[in-house]
Structure 1
Amino acid sequence: MLSRFVIASTIVATLVRAGPVIQVSPQTKYQQYDGTGISEAFQRSLVMHELNLASEKIVLDYLFSNTTGAGFTILRNGLGSSPTEGYDLMKSIAPVAPASNSSKIDFQPFSREDQYQIWLSSQAISRGVHTVYADAWSADGYMKTQGTDFNGGYLCGVTNATCASGDWRQAYANKIVRYINNYKSHGITIDFVGFLNEPDLNTTYASMQSSGQQAADFIKILYPTLQKAGLTTQIACCDGSGWEQQRERLTGVQQAGYENEIGLVTSHGYSSKPGAPFNTPKKVWQTEWSTFDPLNFDWYRTGSQSEGLTWANNVQRLFGVSNVTGHLYWWGAANDTDNQALIYINGTSTVKPTKRLWAHAHFGSRLVRKGATRIGATVTGNAGPLSVTAFANTDGTTAVQVINNGDNAETVTLQGLKLNTVVTYLTNQASNFTVGNAVVSGSVAACEVPGRSLLSFYIR
């Protein structure tokens, strides 16, 4: 009787001759990995909080659990600027204009504990979230050229934004510090803070415009204000609406000489999709991206931008081509009937995850952990519709994500790693992060990747 080793060796040898080879090169190192994440800004934390307790736990575990969910580890909160708290608004802690730009601001307590973002932050941290990013869509209206926190406008005091009421940069910086300290009093550390959101746009909701030079004009005030307050929170800039819009603002900050004062470069994926890496030594996150099509629960049906397979490719290219260190989808869970959320909430009890959630699970903490390094991974032989990324975790484990964009199954072999235990995870129209096994012989593993699927190898 043939031994299992002989049988496995024979199978692997046959597969190596027949199909594509994934060659992993641990010695080729790229960027460090920070994590994946979501936001629940604009009161979607409230929507989650209003679920019944059983459904509330289900949605939180779907988002943050690294054993049953997507394993997100970054949370982006909205730093409010609205004077009121109607639904879809984020209320400010400084809604009343002081007597002057140099007068003491009458800070108010959080409304409903920052519209349940304090609650969500605590719940997320208890489930493994390690990084909190607070981002302001705008300064308060009285600090801006047009007097409202919506419809764009500029922060008074930056280049080409002179206001009769004076320079409001220091007041805005003071408000941000107070917000961070309010979270600190609840035992929550804000690791990064942003003061802009899509500053290239003028929108009917909270928005504030800024060039790179104008962003630098505020950074020169905010940075020493954070330092003086004894905070370790780092500045994020500038959440451009698209990759090229952000590149323009980053270049402006660099030319003004304030790149060293920021700790994180942030961009969205709307106006222009992520492309070539930014020219910066700083961490780079894609901090918001989704689609606004009708709600789509499919993995692959027509190849539309709202399907799960499309988002698997988006995330893989972000890490593998754009060299981001972190990726955040827009909303994690919401009651909106479009693709802004990964999980659809209907009423107080219905929670339904989309396939896009499971695409993100392959790049979340279930397989890849903070501090991991992206390493070399290529497909040789008949690569065809296959694409691949690989990450080496600090605990010695390795995750390799293989996407098959073709209709036919591809049997692949994995080489270049020391293989002890190899587990596979499959997501496609029929499977949600389903556990399987590869055939292993020595330093080679083999597995079939079905058509239109994402399969990850996890080697430990």
Structure 2
Amino acid sequence: MLTKIAAAGLALAAFSRAATVSVDPHTEYQTYDGTGCSEAFQRSLLVHELAEDSRNEVLDYLFTEKGAGFTILRNGLGSSPNQPFDLMKSIAPKAPASNDSELNYIPLPRNDQYQVWLSKQAKARGVNYIYADAWSADGYMKTNDTDTYGGYLCGVYNATCESGDWRQAYADKIVHYIQDYADKGIKIDFVGFLNEPDLSTAYASMQSSGRQAADFIKVLAPTLEEAGLDTEIACCDGSGWEQQRERLTGIQRFHQAKNLGLVTSHGYSSYPGAPFQTKLRTWQTEWSTFDDLNYKWFTSEGFQSDGLTWANNIHNLFAVSNVTGHLYWWGAAEKNNTNEGLIYINTTTNEVNPTKRMWAHAHFGKKFIREGAVRIDASSGSASLNVTAFANTDGTTAVQVINNSDDAQHVALDLPDLKGCSVATYLTNEDNDLTEGTANLGKGGKKAKAMVPGRSLLSFYVSGGH
């Protein structure tokens, strides 16, 4: 058996060989807006149907520091003429007499599939941004006369319809929707009019090129302004990074980027890569996985739904693609075999089961990073470590260290002016969910040292004195 002195000597020797994580607070990158999720397609209804204790558990997991700490909520702006489960009903489901006629508005159906209720609950728990996005215009406004299976908005480039140009009517509907929410005390900060416009799907969908998106933006922007709304336009939720890049390039070429407030993309068809050529906020607004049901942090099969996989996905979004915000698809959903939710719920038994993917998101949520934080330079000498760092406006610093190797690694955090600081650590892996610890500041307090187990995510949180 090792003596205490010998064991201490081995520990010091290990730290002397520690991988150094170097953080430079003077090298700044993008500003952080937050992380988030959606409960569109009536998943907000499912959450509402839970018993009160279970319902609050889900909401706290999603929107407080007890869980993911999301600060962005993405709602679905409906286009369906009816609302069986899994559809989002329009506020103007019946076609008017003509494209120039006033739309036949109805009150928000079922409080917008309980998205009004969810928005209020999210805001009460500290959500900063509400993003409303339409998957399609109403069918009578489109070339294919249905809100499903793609088709184009009548009146944009190369989309001529016998019924005329429906761009103004669609813009008016979007404004009316924003005003409906305002009447209920909810400000919609960003609004989108497309979802995955490069695809035609059996659910609500509408296709668009960048030029066609520009054709609508130049109608929507003045309509918002004339209504006295400061909601900013988002576009275009491309199904993948390169699909979105193509549409953004078209919008820029046709001089409508000036009317955008937010660039949005998904992570499906092409993995997020090099940053977009824009100074606008950039959010990855939908991404999920579709493999077998999985609660695990790491599997030898390497499932895309593993918690560790999502830790690396989020790291790459911020550190490589320079996003200012990241949103997973559904926050909470019924248990199924597609891994579309971060939390699985059962409205019959009131069970609430978070996945390890949710805990991966928590390391990039408001427990550690607040709105207005700036990503700062962070690097390591180890090929198996992915590291990111964020400086908060209150002087605290968060550093995420992902160990992708099987072996534990000793890490020394090199951050200027650590002396006098408190450095807490938070560990997530197969056996831990944000388990709190304390880093060893070492001799002279120049470096904060900790051990990161294999296949794990460890966050350093530096406060006080720094």
User: TM-score scaled to structure 2, two decimals?
Assistant: 0.95
- Provide the residue aligned with 1:405 in structure 2: 404
Question: Is 1:121 paired with 2:124?
Answer: no
Q: Distance in 2 between matches of 1:305 and 1:368?
A: 25
- Provide the residue aligned with 1:94 in structure 2: 92
Q: Counterpart of 1:61 in 2: which secondary structure? A: helix
- Provide the residue aligned with 1:177 in structure 2: 175
Q: Distance in 1 between matches of 2:83 and 2:131?
A: 21
- Give the aligned residue type for 1:225: T
Q: 1:367 to 1:210 in 2, by over 3 A?
A: same
Q: Distance in 2 between matches of 1:373 and 1:354?
A: 28
Partners of 1:76 and 1:134 within 8 A in 2: yes
Q: Distance in 2 between matches of 1:10 and 1:397?
A: 32
Q: Distance in 2 between matches of 1:63 and 1:101?
A: 41
Q: Distance in 1 between matches of 2:383 and 2:280?
A: 34
1:314-353 residue pairs with structure 2 within 5 A? Answer: 314-337=313-336, 338-348=338-348, 349-353=350-354
Q: C-alpha offsets along residues 379-402 of structure 1, whole Å, 9 cap, x if unaligned?
A: 03xx13111000000000000000
- Give the aligned residue type for 2:169: A
Q: Distance in 2 between matches of 1:72 and 1:416?
A: 27
Question: Is 1:453 paired with 2:453?
Answer: no
Partners of 1:15 and 1:413 within 8 A in 2: no
- Provide the residue aligned with 2:390 in structure 1: 391
Q: Distance in 2 between matches of 1:220 and 1:242?
A: 24
Q: Distance in 2 between matches of 1:378 and 1:425?
A: 19
- Paired residue for 1:443, among 442, 446, 451? 446
Question: Is 1:309 paired with 2:308?
Answer: yes
Q: Counterpart of 1:58 in 2: which secondary structure? A: helix
TM-superposed deviation, 1:76: 0.0
Q: C-alpha offsets along residues 49-69 of structure 1, whole Å, 9 cap, x if unaligned?
A: 000111001111110112x11
Q: Distance in 1 between matches of 2:82 and 2:180?
A: 19
TM-superposed deviation, 1:106: 1.6
- Give the aligned residue type for 2:373: A
- Provide the residue aligned with 1:274 in structure 2: 272
The RMSD of aligned alpha carbons is 1.2
1:123-202 residue pairs with structure 2 within 5 A? Answer: 123-202=121-200
- Provide the residue aligned with 1:83 in structure 2: 81
Q: Distance in 2 between matches of 1:156 and 1:129?
A: 36
Q: Distance in 2 between matches of 1:371 and 1:417?
A: 21
TM-superposed deviation, 1:417: 3.0
Partners of 1:150 and 1:204 within 8 A in 2: yes
| Percent identity of equivalent pairs | 65
Q: Distance in 1 between matches of 2:11 and 2:237?
A: 47
Q: Distance in 2 between matches of 1:451 and 1:133?
A: 37
Q: Distance in 1 between matches of 2:29 and 2:120?
A: 32
Give structure 1 regions of 4+ aligned residues with deviation exceeding 3 angstroms.
9-16
Q: Counterpart of 2:197 in 1: which secondary structure? A: coil
Q: Distance in 2 between matches of 1:31 and 1:384?
A: 24
- Give the aligned residue type for 2:171: A
Q: Distance in 1 between matches of 2:331 and 2:107?
A: 26
Q: Distance in 1 between matches of 2:351 and 2:241?
A: 35
Partners of 1:31 and 1:324 within 8 A in 2: yes
Q: Distance in 2 between matches of 1:318 and 1:356?
A: 15
TM-superposed deviation, 1:86: 0.7
- Give the aligned residue type for 2:203: Y
TM-superposed deviation, 1:416: 2.1
- Provide the residue aligned with 1:236 in structure 2: 234
User: TM-score scaled to structure 1, two decimals?
Assistant: 0.96
TM-superposed deviation, 1:24: 0.4
- Give the aligned residue type for 1:237: C
Q: Distance in 2 between matches of 1:443 and 1:163?
A: 69
Partners of 1:200 and 1:241 within 8 A in 2: yes
- Provide the residue aligned with 2:369 in structure 1: 368
Q: Distance in 1 between matches of 2:456 and 2:182?
A: 43
TM-superposed deviation, 1:336: 4.0
Partners of 2:291 and 2:303 within 8 A in 1: no
TM-superposed deviation, 1:347: 2.7
Q: Distance in 2 between matches of 1:72 and 1:430?
A: 23
Q: Distance in 2 between matches of 1:142 and 1:100?
A: 10
TM-superposed deviation, 1:294: 1.8
TM-superposed deviation, 1:418: 2.5
Q: Distance in 1 between matches of 2:292 and 2:166?
A: 41
Partners of 1:135 and 1:197 within 8 A in 2: yes
Partners of 2:18 and 2:410 within 8 A in 1: yes
- Give the aligned residue type for 2:347: G
TM-superposed deviation, 1:12: 9.0
Partners of 1:12 and 1:440 within 8 A in 2: no
- Give the aligned residue type for 2:221: Y
- Paired residue for 2:210, among 196, 201, 212? 212
Q: Counterpart of 2:441 in 1: which secondary structure? A: strand
- Provide the residue aligned with 1:285 in structure 2: 283
Q: Distance in 1 between matches of 2:379 and 2:9?
A: 24
Q: Distance in 2 between matches of 1:369 and 1:357?
A: 18
Partners of 1:12 and 1:439 within 8 A in 2: no
Which has the larger displacement, 10-19 or 212-221?
10-19
- Give the aligned residue type for 1:17: S
Q: Which runs of 5+ in 2 are unaligned?
A: 1-7
Which has the larger displacement, 210-219 or 440-449?
440-449
Q: Distance in 1 between matches of 2:213 and 2:423?
A: 48
Q: Distance in 2 between matches of 1:255 and 1:234?
A: 20
Q: Distance in 2 between matches of 1:11 and 1:285?
A: 45
Q: Counterpart of 1:253 in 2: which secondary structure? A: helix
Q: Counterpart of 2:432 in 1: which secondary structure? A: coil
Q: C-alpha offsets along residues 115-157 of structure 1, whole Å, 9 cap, x if unaligned?
A: 1000000001101101000000000000000100001000000
- Provide the residue aligned with 1:112 in structure 2: 110
- Give the aligned residue type for 1:394: T
